[in-house]
Amino acid sequence: MSSGKARADPEDIEFENEESEQFIDQNDILAEVEDDGDVPMEEDEEDEGGDTLGDLAEGSSGSVPDNSVQHFQTHTASVFCVAGHPTEPLAASGGEDDLGYIWDITDGEIIVKLTGHTDSVTSVAWNADGEMIATGGMDGKIRIWRRVGKDDFRTWEFLTELQGPDEVMFLRWHPKGNVLLAGSNDSTLWLWQLPSGNTMQVFAGHSGPVNCGEFTPDGKRIITADQEGSLIFWDPRQAAPLFKLSGDDARFSLDGITSVAVNPSSTLAVVGGAAGGLRVVNLAKGEIVGTLGGHTEGESIEAIVFVDLAGTGANSGPGVVVTGATDGKACIWDLSTMRLRATLTHEDAITTLLAHPAPKPYLVISASADRTLRTWDARTGTLLRTHTGHRGPVLGASLGLNGDVVLSAGDDGVCLVYTTEEDEGN
């Protein structure tokens, strides 16, 4: 079946580089590395409320106020991840029931049932133009679907299954090309070309599960971090790291790395640790340039996101970053001064942070195990709206329709859709 859209030959997909605008081709495929062993993923926090699935049906009574505008209740167990389509009123979600779905955020209708996994679906990700969707699971499988035809986004076909990881820890698409990055529980890192499904690189260098990773916003580099506390910066053309930081350097010791983000100018990374530590790293030099200390010791940093407070869209300067942890705090930092601007609070662990795009780039949305999401003005730290309706911890969140809605994935088995409009009076 045709995808309905002209697609570049795999050899034409490019990464950008200071010396050359093409530096990955099909000759860059490396041999598979040996499995270093298996470390099981920690189980998600149990829902203390004990609420049954389906209690959030419209019109149902209950003590939990619900200000969502739409529900998706098809999953039969915890929903771990949700992702809004970049342009269409669609979302994709994945859960403990070993299934993913593409669904319509306006009415909750199922568009596609994403099958084929034999264990929990823990990652879902759209490519840059929304023409492909990837699901990743605890079974180590990565499955790709693509849109069929040019008329709408309601017809999809299964494209291919990628294998290599023993358990998928995260998925990230390149910001410009159809290249997919995945971290594995067995310490390996994988890079594939789509739609061919060819393996472009298998990176070795981590010593534990690769918990998190990103392409830099300019698309030129990759940054990844593992459970043993190592941070690695990669040139995608090369198997050897550009630099590596680890706990062997006492200044960098983080008791395992749980989150990482890169500023819009691709010059600094903020790295969060399992014991509440935060480090700022200069990516050009591979050096630690700052330590941020606003979170409670021993509380894991679960989410990091950069925000554009000025609303200029400029990619210069260190930037402003928000960090969220299991202490229930979201701290807003000005990296030009390394000072704390404001602290935002939840009643339980923060699980996800989202930065709103233009025209309101100063808005930040936080999701929490306290069963709520909250929209904040990051310029002042003012709470603008509390999003309620979940009966269990909110495990994931995403923006949709260019930030007009926020989508949530709950331990209660439900996805909810909220508007990001401010409450009246704020």
What percent of the chain clears pLDDT 90, i.e. is strictly above it? 77
Among 1-10, 278-287, 359-368, the least confident range: 1-10
pLDDT of residue 62: 52
Q: What pLDDT, on the 0 to 100 scale, is given for residue 64?
A: 80
User: Which pLDDT band, with edges at 50, 70 and 90, does 232 fall under?
Assistant: very high
Residue-level pLDDT at 395: 98
Q: State the chain's mean pLDDT as an integer.
A: 86
Q: Is the dihedral of CA 158, 164, 167, 170 positive or negative?
A: negative
Q: Is the pLDDT of residue 190 over 50?
A: yes
What is the C-alpha separation between 345 and 331, in angstroms, rounded? 9
Cβ neighbors of 346 (< 8 A, separation 6 or more) are: 328, 329, 330, 366, 368, 369, 370, 372, 374
What's the helix, strand, coil split of the chain in %, to 5?
A: 5, 40, 55
Phi-psi region of 102 (alpha: psi -120 to 50; beta: other; left: phi over 0): beta
CA distance 348 to 368: 6
Structure tokens that stand for 159 in this block: 């494209």
Answer whether residue 263 shows pLDDT above 70: yes
The pLDDT tens digits of the residues spanning 234-262 come to 999 998 999 999 988 888 999 999 999 99
CA atoms lying within 13 Å on the CB side of residue 256: 13
pLDDT-derived band at 152 (thresholds 50, 70, 90) equals confident
**Pairing status of strand 268-273 against strand 278-282:** antiparallel
* Mode of pairing for the β-strands spanning 79-84 and 70-72: unpaired
Look at residue 61 and tell me whether its pLDDT is greater than 50.
no
